[in-house]
Amino acid sequence: MVDQDGVGPGITGGDDLGDDEVALLGAMSDLEPTDGRVAIDGPLATIDVRTLFDDQVTSRCLDHSARWLRSMGRGYYTIGSSGHESNAVIAAMVRPTDPALLHYRSGGFYLARARQAGCTDAIDHVLLGVMAATSEPGSGGRHKVFGHPDLAVIPQTSTIGSHLPRALGVAFAIARAERLGVDLRWPPGSIAVCSFGDASVNHSTGQGALNAISYTAHQGLPVPLLLVCEDNGLGISVPTPVDWVEMSVAHRPHLRYEQVDGSDPAAVAHVTSELAGAARDGQPAFLHLRTVRYGGHAATDIEVAYRKPEEIRADRARDPILAVARVLVEAGQIEGADLAERYRRIRADLAERAAELVGGARGLESAEEIMEPLAPRRPHAVADRVARLDSTRSKVGSGSGSGSTLAEAINRTLADLLEAEPKILLFGEDVGRKGGVYGVTRGLQKRFGAARVFDSMLDEQSILGLALGCAVSGFVPIPEMQYLAYLHSAEDQLRGEAATLSFFSNGAFRNGMVVRIAGFADPRGFGGHFHNDSSIAVLRDIPGLVIACPSGPDEASALLRTCVGAALEDGTVSVYIEPIARYRSPSHSPPPAKSPTGGHVPIGESAVVREGGDVVVVTFGNGVHSSLDAADRLEHEDGISCRVIDLRWLAPLDHDAIARHGGDVGRMVVVDETRRTGGVAEGVVSGMVDRDVRARLCIVAGRDSLVPLGPASERVLVTADDVTSAVRRLFSREA
């Protein structure tokens, strides 16, 4: 309900102020003026401090509005910025075009950035985000985020340091664009700004990112990055030791560290100005901002359950709003009582605006509306883009896989793509000087230079984070995961960061990229389970992620070109799995019944690689070769004619075509080299069931086991004998 003035109870500007606000306003009113004897100087003098005060108060009052909206059943996010408002000073000390990846408590920064950029709707942005309203421009009601393309604020959700690898990538992209002379999303001379909480410093992703930042700078590469650790001393209820952040970070090589108390706005402005200048010169900087936290972690968190009353009272003296009020009063610019009244007015205006927005705020109403920005598909635009990329073949040699091995086809295609698109970057462990552990990228660094083809450190999170930051900045990264098993230590960079960006920004930000992965099993059993991994269930579970898998050189080039074309046109995030066992193998024998035409295979389109009318065999990757071998044997020994279908795309699956073939023939064997539980076959069969296809079905899949070392690996992998036996069993059941 609302009161007669249309303002919700508990958030008006009058007598219903909370005890903490009453105390704050009283402290303001008690400030003694000094007739301007304490001058505002240094970097703080370059901004309007009264405007800064308004931004901080607005951020605080938005937190109150969020909690009121929740009490009315119209608000869904109450993690606030109260006590962290000193981050508004940081925004004032950097450029409004500097890309920012913000902590969920950086509300003051967001409001100050909006004011710098001339955006007048920032208050509505935050309120509509709390209400999960479709008219909120950051995410369109999908999550409450600080994000907006016009403000150069890249949206982050409830991050625990997972955005730090991307922040390094953004900084790297800024510097690399200047080196290569290409234009990106950010103006030349920009720095990346990344804020996060003290608890995030302890997360493995945060520690890995800090290491990668120091490592990159140690190599002499510029890293225009300002890290801002907003340290309120708590990770929800768990205290961070007072000196831990400093001990953990201050002595990292090549990372400039400074600590400042948020209750000293002049010092915050001074230190931020210095560190931002260092970052613009290429030296990464770490601003340790001491803050306080008011009101618990969120509305559902009752902090008196784990904090002593005297601790909470002590924090009140460090209120950043009171600190700025003190500066204004001591400078003789305004009286404390006037500031208190200013606070009341802002609070009342916000309360009224929240009540106005509630009536017209519409939430997302259908699955289609929710998913619209998740994975846009414009196949004709992608085909046109691939055709333009193909035009360089006459310069650098055919990218066709015909008559070559898989490794050779991929290598030539990568060369074509690097020649055609100057914003493509190719990197990963060993991909540069060595040319990859399997030689797939051999010669590309020598040809295109170390600025575009380069080696990375051994850290999959950093490799993917680098790609994410480069992609959102405007590059087209093609990072390599050396083995599929290595990906699992960095999966969240794909799930929580790459695949969510378009979703949580309503399509305003994209990070199109192609992740190359050497995957599946080597039939020699080399390397055991850590080099022979078939677990792609975690990839197929990521909404919007495209998974391509060439079975040989014939379609390898076309699939890779399509992935790059989709990254350029639609911002698609693709995983391109290269079967290790096929790297040195030539084309299918006999040749496929349907080879790719030109340089493009539409995403999700399967192919018939052998005609037949007795049974349909649906497979992919190494399974295509096993199935073709089995089909030869079955035709000669049993007179059974097999139609073999290469899925080529493991997400999305070509369900309609599979169902059509299955219904036409009435018998189907799904050959899946991944594990039976959670494997691709489950998706194929469920698609048949959903379409009510009447067919006899059988699955041949890898065992639910890790892959052992040596010849024993064959005991858990799919072989041609397994496929042959499965087809024969299918027919024997009909006898």
Helix and strand counts by DSSP (H, E) for the chain: 27, 20
CA distance 243 to 247: 6
CB 633 within 8 A of CB 672: no
Provide the phi-psi class of 111: left if phi over 0, else alpha when psi is between -120 and 50, else beta. Answer: alpha
Beta bridge partners of 520: 533
Closest to 433 in 3D by CA, of 417, 411, 449, 422: 449
CB 173 within 8 A of CB 469: yes
How far, in whole angstroms, is CA 205 from its chain's centroid? 13
Q: Which of 125, 531, 588, 655 is catalytic?
A: 531
CA distance 549 to 619: 11
Task: Identify the residue whose tokens are 């073709």.
Answer: 628
CA distance 168 to 161: 12
Residue 314, phi then psi, degrees to nearest 5: -65, -35
Concerning whether 531 is annotated as a catalytic residue, the answer is yes
Radius of gyration, alpha carbons of the chain: 29
Closest to 364 in 3D by CA, of 656, 166, 139: 139
Dump the DSSP string for 352-375: HHHHHHHHH--B--SHHHHHTTTS
| E strand intervals along 218-350 | 225-231, 234-235, 238-239, 256-261, 285-290
Q: Containing H/E element for 487?
A: helix 484-487
Q: How many other C-beta atoms lie within 10 A of the C-beta of residue 180? A: 15
Residue 336, phi then psi, degrees to nearest 5: -60, -40
Residue 221 makes CB contacts below 8 A (sequence gap 6+) with 172, 175, 282
CA distance 228 to 272: 9
Closest to 706 in 3D by CA, of 580, 578, 486, 534: 534
Residue 398 makes CB contacts below 8 A (sequence gap 6+) with 412
Q: How many other C-beta atoms lie within 10 A of the C-beta of residue 278? A: 17
CB 209 within 8 A of CB 167: yes
User: Active-site residues: which are they?
Assistant: 531
